[in-house]
Amino acid sequence: MIPPEGVSAADVVPEWHIEVDGCVNFRDAGGWATVEGATVRRGRLYRSDDPIRITSSGRAAVDRLGLAKVIDLRQQTQFSRTPGFVEVARTAHVPLVDQVVDHTDPPPLDTARDIADLYAGMLAESCGQVGRVLDLVADNLAKGPVLVHCAFGKDRAGLIIALVHAAIGVRSDDIVADYVRSDVPSQRRRAAMIDAPLTDDPPIARLPETLFRAQAETIELLLGHVVEQHGSLDAWVASFPLAPSTVVRLRAELIER
């Protein structure tokens, strides 16, 4: 985005960013091009970090979106910390893994390859949950917008959105670009948690900074791995236990031609 004359780039809010006070990584997953020349609809699928620090004005901003369903991917201890974005009736809690990273004894997380391997392990351990989440997205999009979130909105939510994008034919370079949009917000959130921690915040300062980056190389390595393993991104999506109509419904609700 090129800022207007006299306006700095830092003052321009990207069109895909949703201003929700207390969240730093709430955004629209639409707007991307597909390999068939179509476009992913805006205002239908959102992704975000969690509502731990959300304010009353932030909740009002979320209410205005008219969400049909919120899919919370956090582990139980994270999920139990605070009320969700919407009431329980509109929330589906599907934790992808019981423990994302052991803060007391973290695995090697110093390189993009380490993070890509972490993602591959998460997906392998949570195959059934991933299939359920994709089904839930497809089930609810016809009713209204859907929000998928985890803690930082980068890793678990990032993988689900990457799979949705792959399922509907978003170009691989745009899947990478969407992931990279989490880089700056995740670093901002990490800094805020260290500078002004809540009493029940995890000790994230013990973890490598690399874990809070969203670098292109990380998702490129993961996509390269799954294509090598399955043959294509379509086959990667099909490797999860999806309802027979899920991909068709995702395409019908999210693609505009």
Please check whether residue 122 lies inside any domain of the structure.
Answer: yes
In angstroms, the CA 150 to CA 130 distance is 13
Q: Coil, strand or helix: which one is 117? A: helix
How is residue 161 written in tokens?
A: 């959105």
- The pLDDT confidence band at residue 202, using thresholds 50, 70 and 90, is confident
Greater confidence (109 vs 99) lies with: 109
Taking the alpha carbons of 11, 12, 18, 23 in that order, is the dihedral positive or negative?
negative
Site of tokens 């086959």? 235
> Does 50 score more than 80 pLDDT?
yes
Site of tokens 């090129």? 2
What is the predicted pLDDT for the residue at 203?
87
User: Which residues share a beta bridge with 71?
Assistant: 92, 148
How is residue 90 written in tokens?
A: 């509109």
What is the predicted pLDDT for the residue at 22?
96
What is the predicted pLDDT for the residue at 6?
47
> Does 25 score more than 80 pLDDT?
yes
> Does 13 score more than 80 pLDDT?
no
Please check whether residue 12 lies inside any domain of the structure.
Answer: no
Please check whether residue 153 lies inside any domain of the structure.
Answer: yes
Sequence-distant (≥ 6) Cβ neighbours of residue 71 within 8 angstroms = 91, 92, 94, 133, 136, 137, 146, 147, 148, 149, 160
What is the predicted pLDDT for the residue at 105?
65
Please check whether residue 186 lies inside any domain of the structure.
Answer: yes
> Does 8 score more than 50 pLDDT?
no
The C-alpha angle 96, 100, 105, rounded to 5 degrees, equals: 160
Please check whether residue 4 lies inside any domain of the structure.
Answer: no
Greater confidence (110 vs 238) lies with: 238
- The pLDDT confidence band at residue 109, using thresholds 50, 70 and 90, is confident
Please check whether residue 3 lies inside any domain of the structure.
Answer: no
- Do 143 and 7 contact (CB within 8 A), yes or no? no
Strand 69-72 to 27-28 pairing: unpaired
What is the predicted pLDDT for the residue at 100?
60
What is the predicted pLDDT for the residue at 4?
39
Total of domains in the chain: 1
Please check whether residue 46 lies inside any domain of the structure.
Answer: yes
How is residue 49 written in tokens?
A: 């970090």
Q: Which amino acid is at 243?
A: A
CATH number, domain containing residue 74 = 3.90.190.10
For the chain, what percent of residues have pLDDT higher than 90?
80
Domain that holds residue 107: 17-256
Give per-residue pLDDT as tens, 139-184.
999 999 999 999 999 999 999 999 999 999 999 999 999 999 999 9
- Do 23 and 61 contact (CB within 8 A), yes or no? no
Please check whether residue 239 lies inside any domain of the structure.
Answer: yes
pTM comes to 0.92
Greater confidence (205 vs 254) lies with: 254
What is the predicted pLDDT for the residue at 11?
44
